[in-house]
Structure 1
């Protein structure tokens, strides 16, 4: 069971044991532009998954190092080439000054109050990423409301 403080309460039952990809790793994968399927993730050693949780991925050099590490793990564990994607610097979620329209619309569809600009600004980049990711079209996103509660955005 991972004890990382970056694994949120709403994802503990499925990500705490690192059986599923936690938001902290999803964010890093988006920043690094590497796709990891759940099938691939489950073929990684626990130590490799823990490394992906712990390894820094903020500066351009750290992002490059993270991408290299993940690509190496994919190739070593799956004998498949890594699938590289366009790197996502988080223009939609990283801006603390504006609540993305997608988050506002999704909140209204779920009958919860959208985050106010002040609430959005007070979130960490990982929290903003998580809320944004949990509003993806075509997904059930059942953890949206629990995440909003955990981050103090709704009661």
Structure 2
């Protein structure tokens, strides 16, 4: 099976921490959602630079993701935060299906006078839809949302 070219893609709006990995990039956060694992920022920062880079570069095919889940649990087992906690794996999320624009993304786009229709949503890849869903969700600071809309809808 051919690896997904977006498995380790970082967006332009994430460039201020690419390489130093002081934040968990969206490509890793998507993989964590797919495997159902809550990796806290403190876990991430306790990892070495090489370990963080390895997770960025990790393939997102199902077999590889199963290995990633075990790898993350083993990395975090002895950390002060304790082992990364399991969550229900993402299944049938708007960013996975692409059949209709997630309501909170549509609302965020509308608030910013950005046209985002179903056809345009369907043309986005899964990582792009994931990024918009995560950045537009209620309670998020929306710091990079405008930049994300500009980048993925360009």
Give the TM-score normalised by the residue count of structure 2. Answer: 0.87
d(CA) in 2 for partners of 1:114, 1:31: 28
Q: How far apart are 1:102 and its partner, in Å?
A: 1.6
Cross-structure match for 2:44: 41
Q: Would you say 1:9 and 2:12 are equivalent positions?
A: yes
Q: Secondary structure of 2:72's partner?
A: helix
d(CA) in 1 for partners of 2:74, 2:149: 35
Gaps of 5+ in 2: 1-6
Question: What is the RMSD computed on CA atoms of the aligned residues?
Answer: 1.9
Q: How far apart are 1:89 and its partner, in Å?
A: 2.6
Give the TM-score normalised by the residue count of structure 1. Answer: 0.86
Gaps of 5+ in 1: none
Compare relative contact order (CA 8 Å, sep 6+) and give the higher one, 1 or 2: 2
Residues 35 and 85 of structure 1 are in contact (CA less than 8 Å); yes or no, is this contact kept in structure 2? yes
d(CA) in 1 for partners of 2:9, 2:65: 18
Instruction: Specify which of 32, 53, 56 is matched with residue 53 of structure 1.
Output: 56
